Amino acid sequence: MAEIFEEVNDNEYGADQIQILEGLEAVRKRPGMYIGSTSLRGLHHLVYEIVDNSVDEALAGFCKEIHVTVNQDNSVTVVDDGRGIPVGINHKAGIPAVEVVFTVLHAGGKFGGGGYKVSGGLHGVGASVVNALSDWLEVDIYHEGKVYHQRYEKGQVCNKLKVIGDCDPEKTGTRIQFKPDGTIFEDTVFEYDTLKTRLRETAFLTKGLKIVLSDDRRGQEQEKKFHYEGGIKEFVTYLNRSKEFLYEQIMYFEGTKNGVYVEVALQHNDSYNESVYTFVNNINTPEGGTHLVGFRNALTKTFNDYARSNKLLKDSEPNLSGEDIREGLTAIVSVKIEDPQFEGQTKQKLGNSEARGAVDSVVSEQLTYFLEQNPAVAKIICEKSILAQRAREAARKARDLTRRKTALEGTSLPGKLADCSDKDPKNCEIYIVEGDSAGGSAKTARSRATQAILPLRGKILNVEKARLDKIYANAEIKAMITAFGTGIHEDFDISKLRYDKIIIMTDADVDGAHIATLMLTFIYRFMPELIKQGHVYLAKPPLYKLEKNKKIWYAYSDDELDSILAEVGRDQSNKIQRYKGLGEMDADQLWDTTMDPEKRILLRVNINEEEESEVDLTFNTLMGDKVEPRRIFIEENAKFVKNLDI
């Protein structure tokens, strides 16, 4: 990896390498433009911005350790042992460079000033935006035996940069502590698990870097260390821990081509899902881009060439598709590039054309060697791919048969679907209801114009353990696919969605939760866009009905029941019913509590794309074949259980 960074060591990283692009604008007025939102997601972005700057020092070869601490007052401290932000005067601005970094937007060592070769700091807005959105921020810099200090409040300088003490002349680095502004953020309480996921990912992607995350808040004290000498190879092991891998070794390829440093790790497992995550300069690119295209091209071409030349594919058989080869694949594709071009402000898709060629070239060449040297592994992968190809072909025939039937019978919707009369999808919603009895109540209760009901019988297929042909053969899943109208997988087309809201309505018990999880697994694996675009909801039926003096109250939680009882009084005339299932409610009650748009509670299902690898791992842990990871998950999360149904 040294060759891509070697220039950096000859260049200076002094006060004048900090380039000023423009003055600090009204970040406080429109924070969403700079950090995405003022929700919890935006709040955590503040930490990532500061940590990313330290990681850039690590990528340049100057930082070995980063400590992140959530303090008792919910401020955060980030300490690194890099070179320290320059303290000299920046001649363009006439003020110390550190002050430029924290008070001028688009200032930093990443804009061609020779300070960094590659960097991931978000559009160079990092430190100054964190400062602007903090109640206060303090920075200490260890430089040439002195400790420099400066404090800012709401982005404004409180005092000039001054020396506050001495330190070991060998010691270098930066310590930044900030407290987010409660008048800007909806919530200023950091979630340890959210930080843990992101920092673990960062440590996997930066081989050898040690990151320590501590929580010093009272009652929540904990510390986690992330340090992976194996880098992304260890990342693949971590992601595959809930799956049975098909072969022991993890393929690892690295190389530099046209100024792009490429690092790829991959291993197949016995599942049917593809889990490929791509990164550019340590930033997750959930929408992929040119590096992903290059990786897929190399994989498809190399495996087909190998299968043909080794007679694993007969001449009469068609080529394996990329999808067949990637069935059950877990892979990390990480590139480091000097001037990344992203499509969109959110940095979700890489646009650099040179990345495609670089990844394609490095993977093709090294994968070819690997397959030739490991024929047993190559055979296992090719055999799995050929099985996947046959299953895909069977699924295509089943799909074509369904389509032909549909063409012959007109728009043949499932027989048990009670559709709504309004034909504008924006006004329509579909309730997926467990069981025929609840389905009957729901059909009576619904508003026929806009609410459709699809009752499902029993538990649907667990798609985490099934191939595409089995999925198309399942009657309950077929009914859902037909009713939604979008198709699944490669046929998915969101413009054909027949309902704006897909509402999963199950009993408030263990079986109901299991059925809802099976449905969410299916939607997440085969129609993830429905979740990403906010079309999937969970209905929240009440847990209790309280009757007193001919008046009725519904409670959706134990706390709500307690507050109603505190209001109406606890005595003999209280009749409390604990609902076990939707079937216990008549149509009027179901409408009042769970289906009336004016009164009901719906929970929208969201995916945080920045944590997609963790979401994928959780689905696999809970719904996959391996018992041990599931047991560990239950032990770790048992303390959060509410409404335990024994």
Distance CA 448, CA 180 (A): 48
Distance CA 536, CA 517 (A): 13
Distance CA 70, CA 540 (A): 34
Contacts of 293 (CB under 8 A, 6+ apart): 356
DSSP letter (8 states) at residue 525: H
Q: Which among 80, 327, 360, 434 is annotated as catalytic?
A: 434
Q: Which among 52, 57, 507, 610 is annotated as catalytic?
A: 507
Catalytic-residue membership of 469: no
Distance CA 318, CA 335 (A): 32
Three-state SS across 552-609? EEEECCHHHHHHHHHHHCCCCCCEEEECCCHHHCCHHHHHHHHHCCCCCCEEECCCCH
CB 34 within 8 A of CB 106: no
Contacts of 266 (CB under 8 A, 6+ apart): 236, 250, 251, 329, 330, 331, 332
CB 484 within 8 A of CB 519: no
Distance CA 587, CA 433 (A): 14
Distance CA 60, CA 571 (A): 71
Distance CA 65, CA 56 (A): 12
Residue type, 643: N
Backbone torsion region of residue 361, taken as left when φ is above 0, otherwise alpha when ψ lies between -120 and 50, otherwise beta:
alpha
Catalytic-residue membership of 270: no
CA 294, 532, 619 angle in degrees (round to 5)?
A: 80
Catalytic-residue membership of 22: no
Distance CA 604, CA 373 (A): 50
Distance CA 408, CA 250 (A): 50
How many Cβ atoms are within 10 Å of 256's Cβ, its own excluded? 16
Buried b (16+ CB within 10 A) or exposed e, 220-237: eeeeeebebeebbbbbbb
CB 246 within 8 A of CB 271: no
Catalytic-residue membership of 509: yes
Distance CA 231, CA 235 (A): 7
Query: Collapsing DSSP states into helix, strand and coil, what is residue 251?
Result: strand
DSSP letter (8 states) at residue 494: G
Q: Which among 254, 511, 609, 612 is annotated as catalytic?
A: 511
Active site residues: 434, 507, 509, 511
